[in-house]
A and B are shown apart, each in its own frame.
Chain A
Amino acid sequence: MEGAEPLGDTIYLIDELEIVPGQLDGFLKAFERDYRPGAESRGQRLLQRLVTPPIDTGRLADLAPVAQSVILIWELDGLAGFWGMRSQNATSEVAEWWREAGAFFVSRSRRFAASPEAVATFETIGRMNA
């Protein structure tokens, strides 16, 4: 795969976590301390760290708890970045993070994405020896 420029097309990784009401700050602190540095060392670059709905629930103490989600958008350096990340994430430290972070969220999803143009490029590479 060496020298194939299209392999540099960015792959995005999108995490979405529905946070236990009242646990947003705790999650974000744990995330910055216990997960982000390791993820970045595996080649994940954090592009966005978003909260939805975008409200400060601390100011809504008289209302019923509001379910908020955190959306994390990461980028990887193409296929080399993807497989580089995958070759390093089967560790006990990563497993422990997700196990312990489970106390902060109700549910989560993780998806990979690419631009439509990049999908076409990846499809082409995946059919080079058709």
Chain B
Amino acid sequence: MNRRCVAQVVLADGADPRDAEEVAQALLSASEELGAVRASHASVHYDFAVGGGELTWDLFLESEATAGASASSLGAALVGVMNGDRLGELLPSSLGSLASRVERVEFAQPELIASGTNAPGLVGVKRTLWMRVNPAAPPDLVERFEAETPILADAIPAIRNWRWSRISKRGSGDFGEEDEEGEGRATGSKAEGGEALRWTHLWEQEFETVDGLQIDYMSSPVHWGFIDRYFDPEMPDCIIDPWLAHLACPETAPVLSWDLDR
């Protein structure tokens, strides 16, 4: 059973920017009280984040200890995530007093393709790139994209820790199969109504500083001159929907070096 969850939290229209910090703290507090949660980290995105929510919430869930968790609505929701319930049915209604300030929470259950941990215990900057492979993309191209993406971590030493994953479709239906023109953006906002998650892949990295992401990552020729061909809509090999969620936040604790095998 996949026990890691990564979520982007989208605040409700009209929410005060300060609400993001309060929501992050509230999510941390709530998850600390749940027996099913082994580790939890929530942090507000930097201003340069685009395409997604206001904060990222990382969770590491126990696979068995769910009895205590189900005592609260949030706990029940998280147990539901683990069990593959439809993602949109879980939140924000399960967030209790936070519900009015949260529009939706998009949960992903990463299915690991590859990972690297060069700096165990690093507390730095976490960047999460949520993306969607066009459903019409040729399978051999998708396979090559999945195989080549980790080259970035090899080429850019500022990427200390990283995880490259497909996003589980279990219980999430087939979002956007007919969405070839990227018109699913509006649909994506209906997650609370039971729509499935639109994303297919998750590329997570940890840097020591923002410069590692903003300078090294964006300057590496392996990025702009090689891997970007899967993202550039003018390249024949483009298979990624231009609507990406490029999210980064400061860490208050290690995340990608969580010992998932304990």
Query: Which A positions have Cβ atoms within 8 angstroms of B?
Result: 1, 7, 11, 79, 82-83, 86, 89-90, 94-95, 98, 108-110, 112-114, 119, 122-123, 125-130
Contacts and interface: CB of A to CB of B under 8 A. Distances in A.
Contacts of A128: 158, 211, 215-216, 219
Interface string B218-248: 1111111100110011111000001000000
25 contacts: A1-B214, A7-B219, A82-B224, A83-B224, A86-B224, A86-B228, A90-B242, A94-B233, A94-B234, A108-B236, A110-B234, A110-B236, A112-B225, A119-B221, A123-B221, A125-B216, A126-B219, A126-B222, A127-B158, A127-B220, A128-B158, A128-B219, A129-B157, A129-B211, A129-B212
B221 A122 contact: yes
Interface residues of B, number: 29
Contacts of A112: 224-225
Nearest to B224: A82
B197 to A, nearest CB: 22
Contacts of B220: 122-123, 125-127
Contacts of B214: 1
A109 B237 CA distance: 9
Contacts of A110: 229, 234-236
A119 B212 CA distance: 19
* Most interface-central of A89, A90, A110, A129 (chain B CB within 10 A): A129
* Most interface-central of B212, B222, B234 (chain A CB within 10 A): B234
Nearest to A97: B234
Contacts of B218: 1, 79, 83
Contacts of A79: 218-219, 224
Contacts of A98: 234
A8 B234 CA distance: 23
Contact of B215 (A11, A82, A94, A125): A125
Nearest to B208: A129
B219 A122 contact: yes
B252 interface: no
A126 B233 contact: no
Contact of A114 (B156, B225, B236): B225
A10 B216 CA distance: 18
Contacts of B209: 129
* Most interface-central of A82, A109, A126 (chain B CB within 10 A): A126
A86 B208 CA distance: 26
B158 A89 contact: no
B201 to A, nearest CB: 18
Contacts of B156: 126-127
A47 B28 CA distance: 55
A28 B101 CA distance: 54
10 shortest interchain CB distances as A-B pairs = A126-B220, A130-B157, A90-B242, A125-B219, A129-B158, A129-B212, A122-B221, A112-B225, A126-B219, A90-B233
B222 to A, nearest CB: 7
Contacts of A108: 236
A59 B219 CA distance: 48
A90 B236 CA distance: 14
Nearest to B207: A129
Contacts of B223: 126
Interface string B147-179: 000000001111000000000000000000000
Nearest to A109: B236
* Most interface-central of B156, B208, B233 (chain A CB within 10 A): B233
Nearest to A78: B219
B213 to A, nearest CB: 9
A7 B260 CA distance: 40
